Chain A
Amino acid sequence: MIVARGLGKRYGDRRVFRDLDVEVEDGGFLLVTGPNGSGKTTLLRILARLALPSAGELVLPARETIGYLGHDPLVYRELTPLENLTLFGRLYRVPERGERIGMLLERFGLWEVRHERVSTFSRGMQQRLGLCRVLLHDPGLLVLDEPTNALDADGLELLESVLDERRTLVVATHDPERVEARATRRLAFA
């Protein structure tokens, strides 16, 4: 599903990484490790189609089949979970939007607060909503950047259930113990 050869990225003079080969098969799980600032986030953004590589070849699935969760949960704080998910549901043309949103909110324990603004939530709840957003359009490829960071205990369990679903996964974390077992490939940044 993902094939990258000789991937490089730089911003002007600042080189982030160079000569990277990455391959992830359908249904595979790529675990990306490394300290902060080593280039993990940049690589994930490229794999999520948010950034273009400066060099190398890259084969990725189509934009609408990718889901990305970055350091921020990427939800509007002044909107409610329902409003957020309705917006993204519309933009992603999710079929049976209402039902799917309801199901996700329920699964991630946010149904009761669906009419409250995200700014009132804890960081863990916001991250859970981020997971809802990411799963809303049922992407074939999930790109998660440090997903364990902001989650509380419940959230971590839910995350693990997500990771067990049938999907191609790229997960960056500097705390790999939790997810290591599932990885089919590994990439370590220096």
Chain B
Amino acid sequence: MRYVRDTAALARKDLLLELRAKETLPSMLLFVVAALTIFHFALPRGTDSVAARGLLWSALIFTALLGLTRAFVAEREQGMFDALVLAPCDRSAIWLGKAIAVLAFLVAAEVVALPAFAAFFTGLDGRTVAAVALADLGIASVGTLFGAMAVAGRARELLLPLLFLPMAVPIVVGGVGGYLWFLALYDVLFALLSWAAFEYVVAEG
């Protein structure tokens, strides 16, 4: 189907761009490990594992923000939204391709972050890993949409966290509490909304 092929072409482009923008992934990895280190010093002795899990989720959200801020940089600085919008493909395919790439680098960051967390704090259970996977879908969906909004404005790096963090509250609750069904609900609702709304964010008409 055309849509699938367009999305694949765009996702491929986005993944290539990310791999070549050498700063993004290493910064995210460094950031998440540094954050977890600070959190170790921030936790008093005898804190239970739930609190530690909470800090994992904080680290993940802020690391994701770091990556998301870079997501549309090429489009913004080189005016590439124009080039993409000119093409006859569906605008939502642009969102989907970018979200897939965002998801890929989120997972890449977590492949380091989760073992680091398990080593620094308590162990990880399957539930947390599943929650992280589900949360990634929500973060990628909403983050891609809001990322496109933020780059259109003036204070981009400031704007994205402001837009994104309130939306991240339910993700953190779902993650820390291990409510997989809730995370799935969040994903479905907001992925659909992001998918449908993207064309309005990226093009005038």
Binding site for B on A (CB under 8 A): 48-52, 63-64, 66, 68, 70-72, 74-79, 83, 86-88, 90-93, 117, 133
Contacts and interface: CB of A to CB of B under 8 A. Distances in A.
A66 B85 CA distance: 12
Nearest to A45: B82
Interface stretch (B14-22, B54-62, B139-147, B180-188): B14-22
B89 interface: yes
Contact of A74 (B9, B16, B82): B82
Interface string B1-45: 010011001101100110011000000000000000000000000
B21 A50 contact: no
Contacts of B84: 91
Interface stretch (B73-81, B109-117, B124-132, B165-173): B73-81
Contacts of A68: 82, 86
Closest 7 CB pairs of A and B: A52-B205, A91-B87, A64-B88, A90-B9, A74-B83, A72-B79, A78-B20
B74 A76 contact: yes
B9 A87 contact: yes
27 contacts: A49-B86, A50-B204, A51-B204, A64-B87, A64-B88, A70-B79, A72-B79, A74-B78, A74-B79, A74-B82, A75-B78, A75-B83, A76-B13, A76-B17, A76-B80, A77-B74, A78-B17, A79-B17, A83-B13, A83-B16, A87-B9, A87-B10, A90-B9, A91-B6, A91-B9, A92-B87, A92-B88
Contacts of B13: 76, 79, 83, 87
Given A50-B82, A50-B204, A78 B74 contact: yes
Nearest to A68: B86
A99 to B, nearest CB: 18
A80 B94 CA distance: 20
A70 B80 CA distance: 11
A87 B17 CA distance: 12
Nearest to A72: B79
A90 B6 contact: yes
B5 to A, nearest CB: 7
Contacts of B82: 50, 68, 70, 72, 74
Contact of A77 (B5, B78, B89): B78
B205 A51 contact: yes
A72 B78 contact: yes
B98 to A, nearest CB: 13
